[in-house]
Amino acid sequence: MSTSGTYTFNPSLGELTLYAYNLCGVRPTAIIQDHMMAARMASNLLLASWSNQGVNLWAVDLQTVSLIQGQSTYSVPNDTVMILDAYITIQQGVSETDRIILPVSRTEYASYPNKQQQGFPTVYWFDRLLAPTVTLWPVPDGGEATYLKYYRVRRLQDSEFTSGQQVEIPYLWMDAFAYGLAHRLAEVWQPSVVQYLQGRAAESYRVAADQNVEYAQQYISPQIQGYFR
């Protein structure tokens, strides 16, 4: 069997756009500058929509923040979509110990009577502003060298046509992107196929999203000891 032996297929945004227009029934020879301007906007709005629909595992990274005694609130990068897991790292010489902390809502944080109480942080409140912040409670007391570490989902990089740039998506999401882009472009240029492409886009997204998970064992066991006291 003769095969390519390569794994480098990663078309540019321009190539994906031409294919998306083909799915709409718009041939490459009919494409003008207005088509490409609409495609640039549609591709970026499509990626924004994906950020709203779930966790894009390829856009998850770990952030580290040095904690300061008496400071409760810390800046979060503006490209942060959500915080997934957070923990406090205690550094003692060359060894480190991590302790998970849990999220609370604005309402729960507002209910704390002494927001300046110092101690070892156990919870955090992620305030999703245009310039987001994370607030810890209790406030770090500076008793040990500590860091806040958190996994976050960041926004996907902008889609641009310049210099043959590619879209920041993995191989498994290319089909979903092509159909999603075609659906959005059809709403502007080819309304007659919108319904068909909407179904194909939804199906392609579902298939990709089903694979966009971490595979790990999960155990659920009820606590029934209270029944036998």
pLDDT, tens digit, for every residue of 44-84? Answer: 999 999 999 988 999 999 999 999 999 999 999 999 999 99
Residue 93: per-residue pLDDT = 80
- If pLDDT is split at 50, 70 and 90, which confidence band does 171 have? very high
Residue 228: per-residue pLDDT = 47
Residue 227: per-residue pLDDT = 47
- If pLDDT is split at 50, 70 and 90, which confidence band does 90 have? very high
Helix (H) or strand (E) holding 48: helix 33-53
- If pLDDT is split at 50, 70 and 90, which confidence band does 128 have? very high
Residue 106: per-residue pLDDT = 97
DSSP H stretches of helix in 101-193:
106-110, 174-189
Residue 144: per-residue pLDDT = 80
pLDDT at residue 13 is higher than 90: yes
User: Do residues 114 and 134 lie in contact, with contact meaning Cβ atoms separated by under 8 Å?
Assistant: no
CA 116 to chain centre: 32
pLDDT at residue 224 is higher than 80: no
Rounded Cα distance, 36 and 26, in Å: 12
CA distances from 40 to 46, 63, 83, 152, 178 (A): 10, 30, 28, 26, 13
Give the sheet arrangement for strand 60-66, strand by strand.
60-66, 145-154, 80-92, 95-103, 123-127, 133-137, 73-75
